[in-house]
Amino acid sequence: MRKKYLRYIVAFGTALFTSLVGVVWQKLFPSYEVLGIFAGLAILPVLLVAGNLIASKLYMSRLRNMKVAEGQSYLLRHRQEAQEASNKLLSKLQLIRRATALYTAVLWLLGVVASVFAGMLYSAADDMTLYLMSWFYAGLIFYAAYSRLYPREKIQLDPDAPILKKEDYPLLYANVKRAADALDCNGEITVLLTADCNAGILREGNKYYLQIGVMLLNILCEDELYSICLHEFSHVSDKNAASEREIRYNSWFSQEPGHSWIMGYVARLPFLILDEIYVFNHMIYRFSTSVVHESEADRDMLVHGNARAAASALLKLSYTDKYQWESGVYNETPVYAAEAPDPDYLKHHIERFQGAIAERHVDWDAMVDLEILANNASHPTLKMRLETLGIEHAESITDKGSEQWQSEQQKALAYADNRLYDNQMEKDCYTKDRQEEYLEPLARVTEWEKAGCPVVAEEFGDIVFYLKRLGRHEDAEALCDRAIAELDENSSAQAYFIKGSAMLYRYDAAGMDLVYHAIEKNKNFVEDGLQVIGEFCCMMGKEKELLEYRARAQELAQQDIDEYSQTGELSKHDNLSADAMPKEMLENILEFIHSVDEDIIKNIYLVRKTINENFFTSAFVIHFWGGTDAQRDEIMHKIFRYLDTYPVEWQFSLFDYTNVSNIKFDKIEGSLVWSKSNNKGE
């Protein structure tokens, strides 16, 4: 907050000081010709902003109008040429950043001109109003220029961040330091503990912050940990300094630090086109070179470490992906079933993970040779990584290491569990979370079971969700089977999606047809459906199916951009008209809405939004007149479920009136289909 106000003071203070120069200048050397020249120069920032807006609109329009297939081809071409293009793309980013710095200097000089002009104008016209307007204008220019002063990045650690102290973990730090020294990363090292099974690193000057997941730490031996540390320090070593600098710069200005949203917008306006070009090219750079950079970091594990240990560490990391992929398919005890939090939650979670490794590692190892690199992958496949290490078949190291190493692992695990437990008890969040995550789902399922376990189109999806919350995944899947058998295809799309996904999580390729069917019947499943099919095909090496998937994904993604993405928006600029929905359909929908009304709906509007000559959506707009937020959300959820499972192929949209109140529905004849004031449709 202080930093934001300091920028205001410096910007407008600079404008005030330089305007005084203009006052003195005009008094000592009065000249209306010079005043006119300064006036012309002072207007340049306005022209620059206008030029940025126009150029930005044209640039973004070109990107938005790019077809999905064209965009994917563009990205993949860069990835295929990544090794060769990496330096060229990095040089382009550096050039854009230098151009931005030069442009910032020019903008600052124009701020000087504008503020001097303000002072000259005041001296010549003796008009305080004109002076204040000109001074404020100059201050805005200075503010925009000063906003681009890129400070040396400082990592702000959470004061409660779980830091592992060197004196408590000497073996851990010894391995971390050995890896840092091997990559010439000389400086202060801090190890932070996270609750996951991953590793990461941040660098600030000569300070290194290594993040280690407690799950990962507890399944690695010392040599494996050393290999992982080599990989992480490789990313922040001097050879990758230029790349890391661009990553930090992109992150810095994307976050608009220290601005209110209005001043942030003002500060961004003169830089719109340069920023958009940079962001786009940085995205291309990260996408096309991420796999290359990861492979280079893997190579450092080979050069400075032990290939066998590195391969084992990577293999164990891959087990995490398989374990997560298979979770949520078989019955399990829900986390919040107990009345109090488990003080050893992470310990028990790791034990379950290790048990799964012992049971499933043979099948998981057999999948290594099958995996295909996904088009959007940020890391090489495990097979590619093993090839980098010169390992044909990786084997997991089962040696747990010395007693001291095991002691440090257990100490870190106990530390993480204690922090998690204390945090839950201190904030009393477990009770609240248990109510939402377990007790409410239990009550809803119990009520459903007492009613005889009916399969109702607009309700079964919620019951499936609650059953999964309770860890009853097999019952959830059985309910989907019933929905598929008892409901029509339009109403059971969600059942097809959940059933098909569960089959894929069990590595049953037949699930793809069910997921595709769900996507065909309900476009709400396009994104999630394509993701699960794509991951399955890549994981299982389904080359033929992957080619079909990519073709269908492009088609569906393009259709989503052209049509379905617009069904979730409603604007006064849209092509809106009265909807010609069949009378019986409208009556059925209104009857359902009244059944869940709770007497807080004032008006119901229905308009047709025509998106193109072949596609439209029927948009219901619910105007509430009372009730709590929770009541409104529940009603909107029930209406959405009903429309989403309506047994007719029809495109619906649903909106809360408060979000689209700028539309004059009363001027669209026939749009008011129900009103509480007369309790009848119009």
Q: What range defines the domain where residue 656 resides? A: 568-675
Instruction: Among 393, 427, 461, give the residue marking a domain's end.
Output: 427
Q: Per residue in 130-168, pLDDT tens?
A: 889 999 999 999 999 998 887 766 777 776 779 999 999
Alpha helices in 81-169 (DSSP H): 82-125, 128-146
Q: Mean pLDDT across the stretch 527-533?
A: 95
Residue 436 above 60 pLDDT?
yes
Residue 256 above 60 pLDDT?
no
Distance CA 254, CA 246 (A): 12
Instruction: Among 373, 397, 427, give the residue marking a domain's end.
Output: 427
Note whether residue 81 is domain-resident: no
Note whether residue 180 is domain-resident: yes
Alpha helices in 451-542 (DSSP H): 460-469, 473-486, 493-505, 511-521, 526-540
Cα 446–Cα 451–Cα 454 angle in degrees, nearest 5:
105
**pLDDT bucket at 356, cuts 50 / 70 / 90:** very high
Note whether residue 314 is domain-resident: yes
Instruction: Among 384, 405, 427, give the residue marking a domain's end.
Output: 427
Enter the tokens of residue 412. 């870190």
Contacts 24+ apart (CB under 8 A), 416-421: 416/162, 416/193, 416/195, 416/214, 416/346, 417/343, 417/344, 417/345, 417/346, 417/347, 418/343, 419/162, 420/195, 420/341, 420/345, 420/346, 421/341, 421/342, 421/343, 421/345
Domain count, the chain: 2
Note whether residue 379 is domain-resident: yes
Q: Mean pLDDT across the stretch 498-527?
A: 95
Q: Per residue in 62-110, pLDDT tens?
A: 877 777 677 777 666 666 666 666 778 889 999 999 999 999 999 999 9
Note whether residue 519 is domain-resident: no
Distance CA 603, CA 663 (A): 14
Helix (H) or strand (E) holding 443: helix 440-450
Note whether residue 403 is domain-resident: yes
The closest alpha carbon to 395, from 476, 308, 328, belongs to 308
The angle, 0 to 180 degrees and rounded to 10, between the axes of the packed helices 272-304 and 44-64 is: 60
pLDDT-above-90 percentage for the chain: 68
Distance CA 494, CA 502 (A): 12
**pLDDT bucket at 681, cuts 50 / 70 / 90:** very low
Give the pLDDT of residue 682.
44
| Residues 6+ away with beta carbon under 8 Å from 391 | 307, 308, 311
Q: Mean pLDDT across the stretch 194-209?
A: 91
Residue identified by tokens 């909107």 is 636
Residue 60 above 90 pLDDT?
no
Distance of CA 417 to the CA centre of its chain: 28
Residue type, 312: S
**pLDDT bucket at 255, cuts 50 / 70 / 90:** low
Cross-strand partners of 212:
193, 199
Cross-strand partners of 653:
619
Give the pLDDT of residue 78.
63
**pLDDT bucket at 298, cuts 50 / 70 / 90:** very high
User: Would you give the DSSP letter of residue 393?
Assistant: S
Note whether residue 131 is domain-resident: no
Backbone φ/ψ region at 627: left (φ over 0), alpha (ψ -120 to 50), beta: left
149, exposed or middle or buried, with CB in 10 Å at 0-12, 13-18, 19+? exposed
Read off the CATH number of the domain in which 643 is found: 3.30.70.1350
